[in-house]
Copies of this chain bind each other. A is one copy, B any other.
Amino acid sequence: MLIDGRPMRTIWAAPDGSVEIIDQTLLPHKVKVVALRTLDDAVRAIADMQVRGAPLIGVTAAWGLALAMRADATDSGLAQARARLAAARPTAVNLAWALERVGSVLAPLAPSEREAAAQREAVAVAEEDVAACRRIGEHGAVLIAEVAARKGKVNLLTHCNAGWLAAVDWGTALAPIYVAQERGIDLHVWVDETRPRNQGAALTAFELGQAHIRHTIIVDNAGGHLMQHGQVDLVLVGADRITRTGDAANKIGTYLKALAAADTGTPFHVAAPSSTIDWTLGDGVSEIPIEERDADEVRYCEGALPDGRLARVRVSAAGSAAANYAFDVTPARLITGLITERGACAASSAGICGLFPERRPEALQIA
């Protein structure tokens, strides 16, 4: 997608064997490219959320293994790198998926072959993510076009950032919006701020602004009111982990929007590539691990001062404790449908199996 009219991705290989990313902690205030040269760099980039979004975390982890293999391509080096990357963030399953995929390619190889193989595999993971996101966009755009055909223009609501900044390109929940824009559909997007890290106000609004898509930032509290008053035609969100039964973990607060959508009859769709599906899990609420992050993300708010310097201000009473759960789980019963690279389906084992028949044996185990 574009930044200041120039095509960009969120992660790419540099000629010197390092990997470059956009430091997303500085957006929307600064567009700064950072080089990752070591396993440590990759782990820190994921944990500190210089890169974030389930698909991008997966791709960064794949590249992290390639960087690790430059320094130590032994079996123990590989095992350590996998363990450290896997621990960087617990909720998104794409991380574990990418590590398993690249790791299983590397394991049978001689150490001398591992760096190059990891790079090839990381490139493949990234390219497949781009293609999957584009297909998600095309499948999801059909849903948007249906509303447009009925109502003329379409009001969408999204939570957090599941745009191209959360993936390599196109994004997941925003991909259908970009494709719908290509097709000339009149769109407006309500953008949830998404405290505590404001990925909606900072990243989604930035993306949509760069793409010249009409949008309005709202606080996380406002979506229910808008849905009550018919101001939202469709809710589109991403996911960090989807169970084989269709429960979806996504940024904290997604569950509240799904409840409002169900209460008001607003369609609520979850868009994610199949790498986000955890075929081993049947009950999202009890089984998906929920990351707890530093309480200071809640106590403080980061942004730009009038002179452009970045600063954080304490918004909370001094001495008060805070808790920072990063994700919640939306039960499948509240999800109108899933949108994957293979198409849209019901948020259920049967729906998912219909699109991924080769996973049927896993998906239909004890539900």
Interfacial residues, chain A to chain B (CB-CB below 8 A): 28-29, 190-191, 193-196, 198, 201-202, 205-206, 208-209, 215-226, 228-229, 251-253, 255-257, 259-260, 263, 285, 290, 298-305, 310-325, 327-329
Contacts and interface: CB of A to CB of B under 8 A. Distances in A.
**How many monomers of this protein are in the complex?**
2
Contacts of A201: 298-299, 315-317, 320
A319 B304 CA distance: 14
Q: Which of A224, A300, A318 has the most CB of B within 10 A?
A: A224
A226 B223 CA distance: 19
Contacts of A205: 316-317, 320
A195 B217 contact: no
A219 B221 contact: no
Contact of A222 (B209, B311, B325): B325
Q: Is the interface of A mostly helix, strand, loop or mixed?
A: mixed
A313 B323 contact: no
Nearest to A253: B221
Nearest to A297: B219
Contacts of A312: 313
Contacts of A193: 195, 298, 315-316
24 contacts: A28-B316, A194-B221, A196-B219, A201-B315, A206-B320, A209-B320, A217-B299, A217-B317, A217-B320, A218-B298, A219-B252, A220-B221, A221-B251, A221-B252, A223-B256, A224-B253, A224-B328, A225-B325, A256-B257, A301-B301, A301-B315, A303-B314, A303-B315, A310-B313
Q: Which of A190, A218, A298 has the most CB of B within 10 A?
A: A218
A225 B289 CA distance: 12
A24 to B, nearest CB: 13
Given A202-B315, A304-B314, A317-B28, A323 B218 contact: yes
B225 A318 contact: no
Contacts of A303: 300-301, 313-315
